[in-house]
Amino acid sequence: MSETEQKVFDWDDEIVDDGQSAPETVVLPAGNYDFTVIKTEKGFYQPRPGSKIPACNKVDVFLRLDGGELGTGLAVETLFLCEKQAWKAAAFFRSVGMRGHDEPLKWRMIDHVDGEHGRCRVYVDTFTGRDGQQKQNNKVDRFFDPDPDERGEAAPAPAKKWAKGTF
């Protein structure tokens, strides 16, 4: 749901949120972290002139990063539904164990990723906010394939060496 597509309250409506639901997050240093998908938001990308990405559907994937003693981080990764960005979606779906190498990908699978776990490398992005102040957040550099043991698959058997005269 985008900012313009949110529930509008009437004067007689009750507010149930106690204001404590926003998780405390920190900007984690660059590194590799486990993540949990906390939500997704579908939308439409309208490019600015000169953009390399065409007008297309998109989905923002919100990731809670487990920084251990450093705290909990947050990264928002946008997956664009276009040919030149398909590699990023494929890497994300492999990371959460919902796709193997060279398997077809159905975009509808995005509706089933909330709560899924994976691992990624993040970096610290520094930018100027709308208020003119320098700000930082975490951005995903790459998604890692899951450990075969964690996906419930047997690890590949070590290659047998051939020796002359033995069978």
**Residue closest to 110 by CA, chosen among 82, 89, 140:** 89
DSSP-assigned letters across all residues of 79-148: EE-SGGGHHHHHHHHHHTTS--TT----GGGGGG-TT-EEEEEEEEEEEE-TTS-EEEEEEEEEEEPPPT
Q: Which fold has domain 31-144?
A: OB fold (Dihydrolipoamide Acetyltransferase, E2P) (2.40.50)
C-beta of residue 72 within 8 angstroms of C-beta of residue 64: yes
Flag whether pLDDT at 1 surpasses 50.
Answer: no
Strands 31-45 and 134-144: unpaired
pLDDT reported for residue 99: 87
Mean of pLDDT values over 76-104? 91
Please check the confidence at residue 133 and state whether its pLDDT lies above 50. Answer: yes
Residue-wise pLDDT for 36-75, tens only, equals: 999 999 999 999 999 999 999 999 999 999 999 999 999 9
Residue 19 in this model has a pLDDT that exceeds 60: no
Residue 62, beta-bridge partner list: 39, 76
What predicted TM-score, i.e. pTM, was given to this entire model? 0.74
In whole angstroms, what is the distance from residue 64 CA to residue 25 CA?
9
